[in-house]
């Protein structure tokens, strides 16, 4: 029997963006349906590294990132759990003078955004971070950056949204969607018909299909993280770590496991699915030993991968559609959306309720790809 | 430190002794022992769990449950049920052993 | 430089050895990878060194079969590439070629295969109850392994609990070895043993042996109880006894048995992680309440170059494993077009064993009501130390209906053993909570490495460790 749902806003994609948007919109008094083809937070939002990091982002992302920075400490009040969020600090290492110069340049570039970066070089490095065994020229510390458990955050947002009255439809793939003039009509799952005034496309690596459907093709590609986790180890690594110019990142969770990543996983024949790459995992493991020699005898208990969306300029797409009134996009976070996502949810709520965002998002307009497409066509 | 032996030898009683040390104390196993057999023939514990600190002494004995990891004095970790005892091996199974040995 | 790829057999138990033998007979030289120090698998496991015991003393009624299998393997050695103490920890996805990641003596290698026969065997199927992580509590299979391969008993005064023919056999073996068997606690009701009558017509030897063990135990004064459910291991840090309930004609009674070790298990669960990584399709098996790789009668899977045999392809015991190993090899040879073997007789023997297994399963049923009475504080996942209560809370809070979601949100099955010891229980718990059949909460996905590997395994890119 056909189930009919009528809401103010329908959100396609229950990742951290979609589920936090659903909660924010419901709190703003709207009726909301959150639709996911699988389970909320099971894709990029759930399989990423878990870094809650502002350091290293391009300046245009920092207002959004700062807004998210104010949301993260409120998780318990918002969704009932803190999701293991801690402000451990994020330390970015430079192995060469050239890399350290890049860290210095970055610190200078983002000086006005209030990240509180501390540059440490030479012999001060081992005084400041005595647990650091690797040789490094210097490092940049963002003391209030941190990490959280990605497996927990988005599902908790979805459940909080559900408790607040959002209709959460999991295992419900969208089969058809059309603009009706006054809103949208969606067919989803076996036999669910959803009517809404406004529509959010936050379908992650699957967003390009919906964007193209509304006449806005985007150059979205898929990327696959390659992650490694060890058995629990004595607590020793107090910060989340990355490397300038390298592809290693790692953190130690409160239970003792080292969660580390770098390189890329490999897609399967069906690009919805991927596998960790043994080559990538091996280089992560070797780099881990170089950085943390005490881990030489630690056992790796699991690799994992997942599916994320990347845009060619490294920035996400956030904002209203340029072809379809009432449609909003938020996708393409390039493997770095975990930290900003709760702020994106808040921005989306502002967009649907007030038609504007209090945080600057112009740089993320979907129109930037239309322009590129037109210019490319003209030059041919 | 639990002093009771969990296992009881029924065969190979007269087999060549193999010396090893357990938490710094000299002990003797037999040729043909696994590390698990050697330790549990003189003690009741292989390790302590990470989260509750409870004693563990293996479970499946065929390399599936991963419950019998033993810390060696040199920092290595071995799966006791599937590792043959070698003369001179030194094991640490006592409280806090994991943390100390890992920080060597 | 590039040598032609060889067929690879994973596992040197009854299935793997017979598969290798059949391939060698057709002129092939398979690579045989086995995690054990010596070939033979678990049922016919061999000690690290000879301990003076006869085959009869070690393997009981299976002595002849064990000896023949071991001799067959010794004879194969010149004709195969045998690599003991070798862990296969990853198989590339089908679209990435035929590649295995193996670890041996701390050295990581990748090797290719032309075809792959997975003979990965099984482990005990266990269920949690209060105190099951206490030192001195072992799986039933572990108690037998301790005796068979190491000549030890797991304690002086041992109680046995569970369901399955192994329960009585191991208790009897312990008695013969000089241990004091304090009790045999069968979780199945006595009435279920009536099914053995119909088994007697098909397999009189199995029933006669079972009766023999049971009667000898009873004559020796061993307490044998039926319809048992454990309440708790007694003792802190070591086993001092077991408190259990049992159904009698007068209702339920609570009793205790004093012991210093407990062995328990509920038949076996297959090791299917490698078939999963190989990309084989799975199906749910209603009788064994577990997901198995789809296979045809000979052992072909949904992946053309991958075959499965033995208990890892469905629990059927060592005799069936020997047959299915040979059948999988025949299937592989057939698919290469170079053999026309009549397999009717082998298929018929395997079918007969599978029918016996169906009856045994009714005589030794799985305790489906387990979680109706297991207390919340019971540890469910022994690696991550997650309690039944925590799992239940995660299920409710997260509206969880799928086992991989339960893992993601509660850590059950996320530890070192990758759910080998808790997935049967977690599946029963979740399906019970959701009120759906066991097969409808999904299958815990395998992840590489299927067993822990050292972080420092590669001194250089895939090279030997210094």
- Does one domain contain both A306 and A317? no
The average pLDDT across C432-458 equals 93
Distance from CA of B52 to the nearest CA of C (A): 8
pLDDT band at C236 (very low <50, low <70, confident <90, very high): very high
Q: Tell me, what's the pLDDT at C453?
A: 95
Q: Which of A131, A232, A297 to mutate to test the interface with B (most CBs of B within 10 A)?
A: A297
Do C137 and B4 lie within an 8 Å CB cutoff?
no
Share of chain B above pLDDT 70, in %: 88
| Distance (Å, whole) CA A363 – CA A345 | 17
Tell me: pLDDT of B96 over 50.
no
> Is the CB of residue A66 less than 8 Å from the CB of residue A114?
yes
> Which residue, among C33, C152, C415, C424, would best test binding to B if mutated, counting the most B CBs under 10 Å from its CB?
C152
Reply yes or no on whether the pLDDT at A276 is more than 70: yes
Which chain A residues touch B75 with a CB distance below 8 Å?
296-297
Domain ranges within chain C, ordered by starting residue: 8-123+269-360, 126-266, 370-441
The alpha carbons of chain A give a radius of gyration, in whole angstroms, of 21
Sequence-distant (6+) residues with CB within 8 A of C299 are C117, C307, C308, C309, C313, C324, C327, C328, C331
The answer to whether the Cα torsion of B85, B88, B94, B99 is positive or negative is: negative
Identify all chain B residues contacting C124, using CB atoms and an 8 Å cutoff. 60
Q: Which of A271, A290, A310 is the last residue of a domain?
A: A310
Chain A positions touching B76 (Cβ under 8 A) are: 297
CA distance A336 to A238: 21
> For residue A333, is pLDDT > 80?
yes
The closest CB to that of A278, out of C90, C415, C456, belongs to C90
Chain A: residue whose CA lies nearest to B97:
A234
Nearest residue in A to C406, CA atom: A151
Q: Which of A69-78, B52-61, C15-24, C207-216 has the lowest mean pLDDT?
A: C207-216
Note the helical H segments in C3-62: 14-25, 55-59
Which residues in chain A are closer than 8 Å to C101, comparing Cβ atoms? 278
Q: Which of B102, B103, B104 to mutate against chain A (most A CBs within 10 Å)?
A: B102
- Average pLDDT for chain B: 90
User: To 10 degrees, the CA torsion angle through C432, C433, C435, C436?
Assistant: -70
CATH class of C370-441: mainly alpha
What chains are in contact with C, requiring at least 3 Cβ pairs below 8 Å?
A: A, B
State how many domains chain A has: 2
Is residue C257 within 8 A of residue C223, CB to CB? The reply is yes
Q: In three state form, how does the secondary structure of A334-377 look? A: CCCCCCCHHHHHHHHHHHHHHCCCCCCCHHHCCHHHHHHHHHHH
Q: Do C151 and B12 touch (CB under 8 A)?
A: yes
Confidence of residue A176 (pLDDT cuts 50, 70, 90): very high
Contacts of A233 in chain B (CB under 8 A): 102
Q: Do A365 and A233 have their domain in common? A: no
- Residue A281 in this model has a pLDDT that exceeds 50: yes
In this predicted structure, what is the pLDDT of residue A373? 59
Residue carrying the six token digits 């909320």? A40
* pLDDT of B97 above 80: no
Alpha-carbon gap, residue C339 to C27, rounded angstroms: 11
Residue A69 falls within a domain, yes or no? no
Helix C318-335 / helix C344-363 crossing angle, nearest 10 deg = 140
Confidence of residue C463 (pLDDT cuts 50, 70, 90): very low
Q: Indicate yes or no: CB of C448 within 8 angstroms of CB of A297.
A: no
- Residue C403 CA to residue A235 CA, distance in Å, equals 30
Would you call A299 an interface residue with chain B, using a CB distance cutoff of 8 Å? Answer: yes
Average pLDDT over residues B99-104: 38
pLDDT at res. A376: 54
Across A134-138, C247-251, C293-297, the highest mean pLDDT is recorded for C293-297
How high does pLDDT run on average in chain A?
95
Question: Which of C135, C179, C383, C410 would you mutate first to test chain B, the one with the most B CBs within 10 A?
Answer: C135
- Which residues have CB under 8 Å from C381's CB, separation 6+? C391, C411, C412, C413, C414, C415, C419, C421, C422, C426
- The rounded percent of chain C whose pLDDT value lies above 90 is 85
Interchain proximity B50–A296, CB inside 8 Å:
no
Which residues on neighbouring strands pair with residue A227, listed in sequence order?
A: A261, A304
pLDDT digits (tens, 9 = 90+) for A211-228: 999 999 999 999 999 999
Q: Which residues of B touch C415 (CB under 8 A)?
A: 66
**Nearest CB to B44: which of C35, C53, C135?**
C135
CA gap C295, C280 in Å, rounded: 9
Read off φ and ψ for residue C134, nearest 5 degrees.
-65, 135
CA–CA min distance A338, chain C (Å): 17
Domain boundary among A264, A288, A310: A310
Domains plus CATH for chain B?
Answer: 17-97 (3.10.20.740)
Q: Which two tokens stand for residue B79?
A: 């799966």
Topology agreement, domain C8-123+269-360 and domain C370-441: no
pLDDT for A206 equals 97
Quick check: is A70 in a domain?
no
Residue C368, SS3 per DSSP: coil
Residue C3: DSSP 8-state:
P
Residue C15's alpha-carbon distances to A377, C81, C141, C308, in angstroms, are 63, 17, 18, 9
Q: What is the mean pLDDT of residues A317-339?
A: 97
Flag whether pLDDT at C461 surpasses 70: no
- Sequence-distant (6+) residues with CB within 8 A of C12 are C20, C32, C34, C36, C39, C40, C41, C73, C82, C84, C119
Q: What confidence score (pLDDT) does residue A379 get?
A: 52
Half-sphere exposure in the Cβ direction for A248 (13 Å, CA): 23
Domain boundary among the residues A264, A285, A310 is at: A310
Distance from CA of residue A139 to its chain's centroid?
24
Chain B CB contacts of A229 under 8 Å are: none
Q: Which helix (H) or strand (E) holds C124?
A: strand C122-124
Residue among C95, C96, C452 whose CB faces A231 most closely: C452
Looking at the structure, do residues A350 and A287 belong to the same domain, yes or no? Answer: no
Look up residue A347 and give its two tokens: 């921005």
Mean pLDDT of A115-137: 91
* Beta-sheet pairing, A317-320 with A308-310: unpaired
Residue with tokens 């696994």: B34
Mutate to test the interface with B, among C13, C50, C151 (most CBs of B within 10 A): C151
Averaged pLDDT of chain C: 94
- Taking the CA of residue A329 and the nearest CA in chain B, the distance in Å comes to 43
Which CATH number is associated with domain C126-266? 3.50.50.60
Residues in chain A with CB shorter than 8 Å from the CB of C458 are 282, 285-286
In this prediction, residues C165-179 reach a mean pLDDT of: 95
Q: Chain B: give the shortest CA distance to residue C462, in Å.
A: 21
Least Cα separation, residue B100 to chain A (angstroms): 9
The CATH number that applies at residue A364 is 3.50.50.60
Burial of C311 (0-12, 13-18, 19+ CB in 10 A): buried
Contact call for B7 and C145, based on CB within 8 A:
no
B6–C238 CB contact, under 8 Å: yes
Which candidate in A133, A234, A298 is best for mutational testing of the B interface (most B CBs within 10 A)?
Answer: A234
Regarding whether A327 and A242 lie in a shared domain, the answer is no
Beta strand B69-72 with B55-56 is unpaired
On whether any CB of chain A is under 8 Å from the CB of C461, the answer is yes
- Average pLDDT (C45-54) is 93
C27 to chain B, minimum CA–CA distance in Å?
Answer: 33
Question: Taking the CB of residue C332, how many other CB atoms lie within 10 A of it?
Answer: 29
Instruction: Please state at what angle helix C165-177 crosses helix C140-150, rounded to 10 degrees.
Output: 40
Of the listed ranges A67-81, C171-185, C244-258, the one predicted with least confidence: C244-258
Give pLDDT tens digits for A141-158: 999 999 999 999 999 999
Is the per-residue pLDDT at C338 higher than 90? no
Whether the predicted pLDDT of C454 surpasses 60: yes
Contacts with C, A 18-57, CB within 8 Å: 39, 42, 46
**Contacts B77 to A, Cβ<8 Å:** 297-299
How many whole angstroms separate alpha carbon B60 and alpha carbon C125? 10
CB contact under 8 A, B75 and A297: yes
E strands in C267-309: 268-270, 282-285, 290-293, 306-308
Residue A288 has pLDDT above 90, yes or no: yes
- Taking only residues 229 to 248 of chain C, the set having a beta carbon closer than 8 angstroms to any beta carbon of chain B reads 237-238
Convert the pLDDT of each residue in C343-388 to its tens digit: 999 999 999 999 999 999 999 999 999 988 899 999 999 999 999 9
Query: What is the extent of the structural domain holding A246?
Result: 87-147+222-310
pLDDT at C466: 28
Residue C251 main-chain phi, psi, to 5 deg:
110, -165
Cβ–Cβ of C399/A159 closer than 8 Å? yes
From the candidate CATH numbers 3.30.230.70, 3.40.50.1980, 3.50.50.60, 3.40.50.720, the one assigned to the domain spanning C8-123+269-360: 3.50.50.60
What are the chain C neighbours of B54 within 8 Å (beta carbons)?
133, 237
Do A293 and A242 fall into the same domain? yes
Quick one: A247 and A293 in the same domain? yes
Residues of B with CB under 8 A from a CB of C: 2, 4, 6-12, 15, 31-34, 37, 40-41, 44-46, 49-52, 54-67, 69, 82, 84
Checking if the pLDDT of B100 tops 50, the result is: no
A237 and A365 belong to one structural domain: no
Among C96, C396, C455, which would you mutate to test the A interface (most chain A Cβ atoms within 10 Å of its Cβ)?
C455
Whether residue A264 sits in one domain with residue A167? no
Q: Considering the domain boundaries, does residue A255 fall inside one?
A: yes
Cα(B63)–Cα(B79) distance, integer angstroms? 7
Chain A / chain B CB contacts < 8 angstroms:
22
CB-nearest to A297 from C93, C409, C456 is: C456
| Region B69-81 average pLDDT | 95
Residue C277: exposed, middle, or buried by beta-carbon count in 10 A (0-12, 13-18, 19+)?
A: buried
On chain B, the residues whose CB falls within 8 A of the CB of C136 are 6, 44, 57
CATH number at residue A104: 3.30.9.10
User: What pLDDT score was predicted for residue A374?
Assistant: 59
Q: Do A234 and B99 touch (CB under 8 A)?
A: yes
Residue B98 banded pLDDT, cuts 50, 70, 90: very low
A15 and A157 share one domain: yes
In this prediction, the answer to ipTM > 0.85 reads yes
Same domain? For A119 and A161 the reply is no
Per the domain annotation, does A163 fall within a domain? yes
Q: What is the pLDDT of residues B79-89, one digit of tens each?
A: 999 999 999 99
Q: Does A289 touch chain B (CB under 8 A)?
A: no
Q: Is A71 inside a domain boundary?
A: no
What's the confidence (pLDDT) of residue C197?
Answer: 84
Segment among A86-90, A185-189, B75-79, C195-199 with least mean pLDDT: C195-199
Q: Are the Cβ atoms of B7 and C155 closer than 8 angstroms?
A: yes
Q: Is A111 found in the same domain as A19?
A: no
Q: What is the pLDDT, as a whole number, of residue C18?
A: 98
Contact B51 A255 (CB under 8 A): yes
Instruction: In whole angstroms, give the CA distance from residue C233 to residue C239.
Output: 7
Distance between A137 CA and the closest CA of chain B, angstroms: 25
Contact status, residue A86 vs residue A74, Cβ threshold 8 Å = no
**Position C105 confidence tier, pLDDT thresholds 50, 70, 90:** confident
Together in a domain, A194 and A229: no
**Angle of CA points A275, A277, A279, to nearest 5°:** 170
């Amino acid at each position: 029997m056909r189930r009919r749902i009528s809401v103010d806003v329908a959100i396609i994609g229950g990742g951290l963006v979609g589920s936090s948007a659903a909660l924010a919109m419901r709190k703003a008094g709207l009726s909301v349906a959150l639709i996911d083809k699988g389970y909320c937070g099971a894709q990029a939002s759930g399989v990423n590294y878990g870094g809650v990091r502002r350091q290293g982002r391009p300046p245009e992302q920092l207002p959004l990132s700062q807004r998210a920075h104010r949301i993260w400490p409120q998780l318990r009040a918002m969704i009932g759990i803190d999701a293991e969020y801690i402000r451990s600090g994020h330390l970015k290492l430079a192995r060469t003078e050239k890399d350290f110069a890049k860290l210095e340049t970055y610190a200078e570039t983002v000086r006005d955004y209030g990240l509180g970066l501390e540059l440490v070089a030479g012999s001060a490095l081992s005084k400041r971070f005595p647990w650091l065994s690797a040789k490094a020229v210097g490092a940049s510390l963002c003391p209030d950056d941190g990490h959280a458990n990605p497996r927990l955050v988005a599902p908790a947002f979805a459940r909080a949204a559900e408790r607040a009255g959002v209709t959460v439809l999991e295992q419900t793939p969208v089969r058809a969607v059309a603009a009706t003039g006054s809103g949208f009509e969606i067919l989803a799952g076996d036999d669910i018909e959803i009517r809404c005034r406004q529509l959010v496309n936050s379908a992650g690596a699957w967003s390009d299909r919906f964007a193209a459907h509304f006449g806005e093709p985007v150059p979205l590609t898929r990327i696959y993280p390659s992650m490694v986790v060890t058995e629990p180890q004595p607590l020793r690594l107090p910060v989340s770590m990355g490397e300038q110019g390298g592809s290693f990142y790692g953190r130690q969770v409160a239970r003792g496991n080292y969660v580390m990543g770098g390189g890329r996983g490999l897609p399967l024949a069906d690009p919805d699915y991927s596998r960790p790459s043994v080559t990538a995992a091996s280089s992560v493991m070797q780099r881990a030993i170089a950085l943390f020699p005490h881990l030489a005898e630690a056992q790796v208990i699991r690799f994992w991968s997942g599916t994320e969306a990347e845009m060619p300029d490294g920035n996400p797409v956030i904002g209203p559609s340029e072809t379809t009134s009432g449609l909003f996009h938020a996708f393409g976070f390039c493997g770095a959306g975990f930290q900003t996502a709760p702020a994106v949810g808040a921005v989306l709520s502002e967009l649907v309720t007030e038609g504007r965002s209090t945080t600057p998002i112009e740089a993320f307009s979907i129109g930037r790809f239309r322009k590129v497409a037109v210019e490319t066509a003209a030059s041919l | 430190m639990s002093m009771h032996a969990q296992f009881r030898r029924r065969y190979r009683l007269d087999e060549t002794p193999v010396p090893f040390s357990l938490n710094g104390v000299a002990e003797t196993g037999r040729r043909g022992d696994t590390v698990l057999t050697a330790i549990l023939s003189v003690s009741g514990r292989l390790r302590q769990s990470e989260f509750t600190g409870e004693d563990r002494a293996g479970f499946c004995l065929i390399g599936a449950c991963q419950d019998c990891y033993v810390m060696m004095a040199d920092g290595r970790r071995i799966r006791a049920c599937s590792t043959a005892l070698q003369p001179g091996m030194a094991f640490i199974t006592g409280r806090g052993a994991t943390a100390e040995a890992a920080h060597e | 430089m590039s040598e032609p790829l060889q067929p690879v057999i994973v596992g040197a138990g009854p299935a793997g050895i017979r598969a290798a033998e059949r391939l060698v007979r057709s002129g092939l030289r398979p690579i045989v990878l086995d995690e054990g120090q010596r070939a033979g698998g678990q049922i016919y496991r061999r000690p690290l060194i000879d301990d003076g015991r006869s085959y009869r003393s070690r393997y009981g009624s299976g002595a002849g079969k064990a000896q023949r299998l071991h001799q067959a393997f010794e004879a194969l050695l010149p004709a195969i590439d045998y690599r003991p103490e070798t862990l296969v920890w990853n198989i590339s996805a089908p679209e990435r070629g035929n590649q295995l990641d193996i670890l041996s003596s701390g050295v990581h290698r990748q090797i290719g295969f032309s075809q792959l026969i997975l003979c990965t065997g099984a482990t005990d199927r266990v269920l949690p109850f209060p105190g099951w992580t206490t030192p001195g509590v072992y799986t039933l299979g572990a108690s037998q392994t301790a005796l068979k391969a190491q000549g030890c008993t797991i304690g002086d005064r041992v109680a046995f609990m569970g369901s399955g023919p192994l329960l009585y056999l191991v208790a009897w073996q312990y008695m013969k070895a000089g241990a004091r068997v304090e009790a045999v606690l069968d979780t199945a009701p006595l009435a279920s043993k009536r099914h053995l009558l119909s088994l007697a017509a098909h397999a009189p030897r199995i029933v006669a042996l079972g009766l023999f063990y049971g009667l000898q135990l009873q004559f020796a004064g061993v307490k044998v109880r039926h319809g048992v459910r454990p309440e708790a291991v007694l003792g802190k840090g070591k086993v001092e006894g077991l408190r259990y309930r049992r159904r009698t004609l007068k209702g339920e009674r609570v009793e205790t048995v004093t012991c210093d070790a407990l062995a328990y298990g509920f038949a076996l669960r297959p090791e299917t992680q490698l078939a999963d990584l190989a990309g084989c399709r799975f199906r749910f098996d209603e009788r064994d309440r577990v997901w198995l790789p789809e296979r045809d009668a000979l052992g072909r899977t949904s992946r053309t170059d991958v075959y499965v045999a033995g208990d890892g392809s469905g629990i059927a015991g060592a005799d069936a494993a020997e047959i299915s190993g040979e059948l999988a090899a025949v299937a592989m040879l057939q698919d290469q077009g170079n053999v026309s073997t009549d397999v009717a007789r082998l298929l018929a023997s395997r079918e007969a064993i599978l029918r016996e297994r169906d009856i045994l399963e009714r005589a030794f049923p799985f305790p489906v009501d387990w979680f109706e009475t297991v207390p919340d504080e019971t540890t469910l996942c022994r690696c991550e130390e997650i309690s039944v209560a925590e799992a239940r809370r995660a299920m409710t809070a997260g509206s969880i209906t799928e086992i991989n979601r339960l893992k993601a949100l509660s850590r059950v099955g996320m530890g070192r053993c990758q759910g080998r010891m808790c997935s049967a229980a977690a599946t029963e718990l979740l399906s019970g909570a959701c009120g759906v059949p066991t097969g409808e909460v999904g299958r815990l996905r395998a992840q590489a490495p299927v067993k822990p590997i050292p972080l420092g395994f590669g001194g250089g890119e895939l090279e030997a460790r210094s």
